[in-house]
Amino acid sequence: MSLLQSLEERPVVPLNGPVLARLGGPGAVLLAGPAAGEGPEPFHGMLDRLGPTPPAMSSDIMSAIWASELRGRGGGSFPLWRKLQAALDAPGTPVVVINCSESEPASRKDWTLCSYRPHVVLEGAAAVARAVGAEEVVIHLHGRSIEPTTAIRCALHQRGSLAGDPDWRLSSGPGGYVAGEASAVARFVHSGVALPLSNSVPLARRGPSGRPTVVTNAETAAHVAALLRMGPDRWRAAGTESSPGPQLLTMAGAVPEPGLVVELVGQATIGEVLEAAGVPAPPAAVLVGGYAGTWLQGQAAWNAPMDATALRRLGAARGCGLIGVLPHGACGLVETGRLTRYMAGESAGQCGPCVHGLPVLATCMDGLAGGTAGRRSLKRLHRTADALPGSGACSHPDGVVRLVLSALKVFEHDVVRHCAGKPCRAADHPPVFLTSGPGGGELP
Amino acid sequence: MKVIVHVDPTRCRGHGICTLFFADGLELDRWGFGRPRESVPEGRRSLAQARRAARACPNGAISFTVERGRSRA
């Protein structure tokens, strides 16, 4: 029987409704284990809980990752096996970089994983390294993120030199939104410059060092560890058909606990996720996927399943798993204006269109938010937004355009009101979304 | 023979010289930075022009590949 056939006939594991678990909560996969109060889980703690790491050869790991259809959880949702296969096919010994820097300001999932489950991340990282035959794994963290850095450092010490482990290296990078972009991370760990590269060749084939460079997210690595222990079928069944596996989601904006990370096991709507996070009713709007994500109208988002196909139908994507809540009473245009200004400031300043285009978007959005923009300004906004996608080395401008255009659509009525010079009902609402965090500054 | 031009946006400083040499394959965006046109004419002429544009760029932002698997920069 071919592998494909066996996949078609794989059993579907029935689930009794979705599990929405916090750190240490029942039913969790990645977040299972001790509660937050107990600090980082030690090595023996993980081994007692899960048993010894199952031995696996490179080809076993590759086929398990292939069968799981795990996609990168840093935002790009690129199939991991394709990245790994590209590295295997390219000449040279690959390097693996685990990106734990989490430069999305409101996202906390990698922070949470590295701070509380460092050994799960390391186990996954070692498996990825073995899959591609890498001898070196770089754990890249944001320098000012104290907890994850300490936890990973201790974890590496506890792990010691296990048989078959790669050489571990810690990298402490600078903050900034685009400094966490894959090519910027690859460049930083090679030469200390955290700026995105213009890639005509994928990093996995040839990175800045000339060797194949696999840059993958901390959550992705943790999933590799989980799926090797559970088996790809059981792991897949913890998600949906189009989004297999469990997902880590960070709550942001007007939620009782901003920065709360919830693990979704099974299928749930965004509404169910938000209810579990303490949001009782549909908000005005929801920002899905990060600051470079997509606004969805509150009720539509509330009913939408947290799953790739459903989100794509609404024009959104899970991105880094951020779910941001805009409360009734706040203005989506004012918030978007603030976010756009922040994102414009986070440009690496390398590519002309980003340097010149993003401030135009920010200025137009500010004008729109303040009620001083007219038709011409709106036209200028659209012209700029049309010219930006695909123009930069990285997709930073594309993300900002996505945010702005989705705002114009979802907050259509506010656009009309603001353009007519009617006062904004929410001008003095305090900012809903943080514009600094592990990547850009300190969180409260 | 298909010529695929690549403009490295991190190097482009908007001199616009490339479009003087390879107007059929490159254009300037709203801000005057070079970018490949949606369709680049095939043939030897394009290859020669792309080569000249790549040489003329003061920042070395232009590279191109010729489809047949051979790569030139």
* pLDDT tens per residue across span A307-323: 999 999 999 999 999 99
In 3D space, the residue among A431, A434, A403, A404 whose CA is nearest the CA of residue A330 turns out to be: A431
Mutation site for A-interface testing, chosen from B6, B26, B33 by largest number of A Cβ within 10 Å: B33
User: Does one domain contain both A322 and A342?
Assistant: no
Chain B hits for A354, CB-CB cut-off 8 Å, are 9
In 3D space, the residue among A222, A197, A122, A208 whose CA is nearest the CA of residue A165 turns out to be: A122
User: For the segment A109-167, what is each residue's pLDDT rounded down to a tens digit?
Assistant: 999 999 999 999 999 999 999 999 999 999 999 988 899 999 999 999 999 878 888 99
Point out the domain boundary residue: A178, A208, A237. Answer: A237
Domains annotated for chain B, with CATH where assigned, are: 2-67 (3.30.70.20)
Question: Mutual orientation of helices A80-89 and A118-132 as an angle, nearest 10°?
Answer: 40
Return the bridge partners of A261, or none: A250
CATH of the domain at A401: 1.20.1440.230
Domain that holds residue A357: 332-428
CB contact under 8 A, A352 and B14: yes
Of A195, A383, A391, the CB nearest to B9: A391
User: For the segment A248-288, what is each residue's pLDDT rounded down to a tens digit?
Assistant: 999 999 999 999 999 999 999 999 999 999 999 999 999 99
CB contact under 8 A, A353 and B10: no
Look up the pTM and report it: 0.90
Question: Does B16 contact A at CB distance below 8 Å?
Answer: no
CB A277 within 8 Å of CB A255: yes
CB contact under 8 A, B12 and A383: no
Question: Does B69 contact A at CB distance below 8 Å?
Answer: no
Residue A434 to chain B, least CA–CA distance (Å)? 29
Provide φ and ψ at B63, rounded to 5°: -135, 165
User: Does one domain contain both A133 and A201?
Assistant: yes
- A348 in a structural domain: yes
In chain A, how many domains are there?
A: 3
Strand pairing class (A322-326; A247-253) = parallel
In chain A, whose CA is at the least distance from the CA of B63?
A: A200
User: For the segment A195-253, what is each residue's pLDDT rounded down to a tens digit?
Assistant: 999 877 889 999 999 999 999 999 999 999 999 999 999 999 999 999 999 999 999 99
- A308 in a structural domain: yes
